[in-house]
Every structure is written in C-alpha cells, then in structure tokens.
Amino acid sequence: MSRTPEENEHIVKEGFVDKARRTLGRVPFSDEAVAAYYCAKDPTTPTSVRMTVMAALAYFVIPTDAIPDIIAMLGFTDDAAVFWIAWRTISNYVTPDHRDKAKLFWGKDTNDEGPRTKDAPD
C-alpha cells in the first residue's frame, strides 16, 4: 500500500518514539534509526532525504508489514532491510548533531561515557 509523504510523516510523528523505546535491544539499527529521525526533523535536511527517512521509519512503525514484528528472530528483518536501503541513501546527511541527539534519546552521554541520569528528550 502506497502512502503519501504526509501520511508517512504523521505515522512517524505518532508512533516512532514509542516503537523505538519498546524495541530497544531487539533492533540492530536503533541508533541509526533515531539519528535518521532527527535528520528528518532538521529543517536544513533536503526534502527528498526527509521523505526517504519518513517512508523507512513509517514502515518500521506500522504493525502490519511483510513479516510481523512479533515473530521471534524474523520480525524485524524486513524493517531492517527497508531501513538499511534508505540509510545507504541518506547517511551522508546525518550530522554529528543528529547522532548526538540520538545518543541523548537513548540516555547516553554524547561522549560515550555511559548512561546519563536524566530522562532522554523526546
């Protein structure tokens, strides 16, 4: 099913943060996905890059995809494939600031010195 860029953006806005936090440790692309999320939210990121990120993240967020996420060991393989294809296209646009925001999201110090004590920003 094809969605408009606006629909993808709405899906990501409504569900990405919760899904990312719920799947921590089970999704091998968590750090990159959150950095890509911040890249897509950055107004200086080109529109085509933001649209690519939103489409890939929307696929990750929606519960009905090619392989349901609840299937152990296989559930996120299709999400990973879709994300990594998008990542290869957009990774040059992900800045150190986007990566730092992703670290803060997970509660990590931006100097990789371990977890922070305060809650990560949304």
Calculate what percentage of the chain has a pLDDT beyond 70: 74
DSSP state of 114: S
pTM of the model: 0.73
> 122: pLDDT confidence band, cut at 50, 70 and 90?
very low
pLDDT in tens, 5-64: 888 888 888 888 887 887 756 777 888 999 999 999 999 999 999 999 999 998 888 766
Q: Predicted confidence band at 117 (pLDDT cuts at 50, 70, 90)?
A: very low
Which phi and psi (to 5°) does residue 50 adopt? -60, -40
The DSSP line for 37-99 is HHHHH-TTS-HHHHHHHHHHHHHHH-S-SSS-TTSTTTTTHHHHHHHHHHHHHHGGG--HHHH
Q: Where are the domains of the chain?
A: 5-105
Predicted pLDDT of residue 113: 45
